[in-house]
Amino acid sequence: MATESQLPPGVPPAPSPNSPANLFALWWGILIGPLAWATDLGISYPITQSLCAFNHAWGFHVITVCTLALAVSGAVVARRELALVPRAPGEKLPRPIERSRFMAQLGIALSVLFMIVILAESVPKLGISPCQ
């Protein structure tokens, strides 16, 4: 196997079986769902008075759609990373690969959970005016 210095320019090195999938993508999948929910909650409450003053309930919907899109991106990225990690049923895999599979599965689960939470919190925003 050629080292990085022996590869021609523009050719990425082949992943080693001991290296995990893209670590940034794995952490994105795990953290973006809770962060999207916290953002939804953290922005919706402070702007309630402003939305009430101008009677613009659509501001809540914009925030919900944006934060829901972030949570969906976490599930999509985690699913893509899960597909990239090899799976060998019955074989003992190296720890980095096992860790990558776990992180990808956790990212999918957390993103879906917080998508449900964001949607559940948006239900009252659909029927109640910000002034109530």
Report whether pLDDT(88) > 80: no
Half-sphere exposure of 79 (CA within 13 A, CB side): 10
> What is the Cα–Cα distance from 54 to 107, expressed in whole angstroms?
38
Mean pLDDT of 33-42: 96
CA distances to 14, 62, 69, 121, 130 from 57, in Å? 51, 9, 19, 14, 6
Look at residue 70 in the predicted model and tell me its pLDDT.
Answer: 97
Q: Which residue has the higher pLDDT, 18 or 95?
A: 95
What is the value of pTM for the model shown? 0.78
Chain segment 46-83, per-residue pLDDT in tens: 988 888 888 777 888 899 999 999 999 999 999 999 98
> What is the Cα–Cα distance from 117 to 94, expressed in whole angstroms?
35
Residue 67: count of CB within 10 angstroms of its CB: 27
